[in-house]
Structure 1
Amino acid sequence: MKCSQTRAIQTHMITYPHLNFHKTLFGGQLMAWLDETAGIAAVRVSRAAIVTASVDHLDFLAPLKASHSVCIDAYVSGVGTRSMEIFAKVIGEDLFTGERYLAGTCFMTFVVPKGASLPERIEPETKEEQFICQGYKARKQARQAKRQESIDLAKNVDLDIPWNE
């Protein structure tokens, strides 16, 4: 399957309900849009119910301002037996001048249920896709190590909350 066959694109206008104290897009709103767009790409490759396993890496590179638009372009950049990695780029646009800028990048992992099948590989076509996909195996190894670290951490997290009365 080609990366382009999994591509999902969403565009939103940044308006006042989406702003933080700095009058730029609230990061949590961007994360919700990223999860939704990347989830569509994940379903396109799996044709099954998926679950977000992790936001592996999210870099906020430039603020997205009020009255600008934000375009999220996501595609599958690697597949395993039950998991897949999705790459998303966040492109801002000043709607009055037409200037576009890279506002962020993100890698996310989604998991399919047992019994669902994924293609053996994802085929990159463009120079960008080739660059992104070539790093999949190294990122997957780093994710697996981080997951074990998270499991070990969870074993030592105290669930008792000291409420102030």
Structure 2
Amino acid sequence: MEAKPCQASLAIKNSHVLPPDTNSHGTLFGGKLMAYIDDIAAISATRHARKPIVTASTDSVDFLHPVYEGEAICLEAFVTWTHNTSMEVFVKAVTENLLTGERKVCTTAFLTMVALGEDNRPTTVPKVYAETEEEKWLHESARQRSLYRKERRSHSKELANRFGYDLPWNKGE
């Protein structure tokens, strides 16, 4: 498999924030933004792997600035790092006041996507390489984020085992 540059997976999505997309404060629902993030990351990962993918994890999503009704939201995503069957995808969301032109980064996120083969099992993906300084910075710090994700996943499994369905209130007792 031939390695690909980060930019080969670049995906961009723009959307106008309309009243049904907003909460009682007139700002974009956080869940709606998270759905946009997952969607654009999936497009980027599929573009890189040229195979079906699934979301394995989403790192923390911090809402840095509100996105108001009437504004535009632009999301950019690209693959920053690959392992054997997984890809780290960086997503940046920028809000734009369409009347003034003011833009702000409203969130950033990293997602891990896994490529699937014809048997619906994880399958290998091409390596990715960085070209720009920003891509290099993300690529070089990816292994540390990956180790953190493994630790977090282990903790999540422990929580699931500890608070699973074997508790008395889940048995109808």
Structure 1: runs of 5+ lacking an equivalent: none
Aligned match of 2:96: 93
> Residue by residue, what CA displacement relative to the aligned partner does 1:36-70 show, whole Å, maximum 9, x if unpaired?
10000010111111111111121211000111100
2:147 is aligned, of 137, 141, 145, to: 141
TM-score (ref. length: structure 2) = 0.88
User: Does the Cα contact within 8 Å between 1:34 and 1:72 map onto a contact in 2?
Assistant: yes
* Aligned-partner Cα distance in 2 for 1:158–1:112: 28
* Aligned-partner Cα distance in 2 for 1:85–1:58: 15
Give the superposed CA RMSD.
1.6
User: Does the Cα contact within 8 Å between 2:114 and 2:122 map onto a contact in 1?
Assistant: no
Q: CA deviation at 1:128?
A: 1.8
> Residue by residue, what CA displacement relative to the aligned partner does 1:85-109 show, whole Å, maximum 9, x if unpaired?
1000000100001111111101011
* Aligned-partner Cα distance in 2 for 1:151–1:162: 21
* Aligned-partner Cα distance in 1 for 2:68–2:170: 38
Aligned match of 1:127: 133
Aligned match of 2:29: 26
User: Does the Cα contact within 8 Å between 2:84 and 2:124 map onto a contact in 1?
Assistant: yes
Provide closer, same or farther for how the CA distance between residues 161 and 85 of structure 1 changes in structure 2, counting only shifts above 3 A: same
2:70 is aligned, of 67, 86, 105, to: 67
Q: CA deviation at 1:162?
A: 8.9
User: Does the Cα contact within 8 Å between 1:11 and 1:72 map onto a contact in 2?
Assistant: yes
TM-score (ref. length: structure 1) = 0.92
Aligned match of 1:7: 10
Sequence identity (%) = 36
Aligned match of 1:16: 19
Aligned residues: 162
- Matching residue's letter, 2:148: A
- Matching residue's letter, 2:125: L
- The list of structure 1 runs, each at least 4 consecutive aligned residues, that deviate by more than 2 angstroms after superposition, is 113-117, 158-163
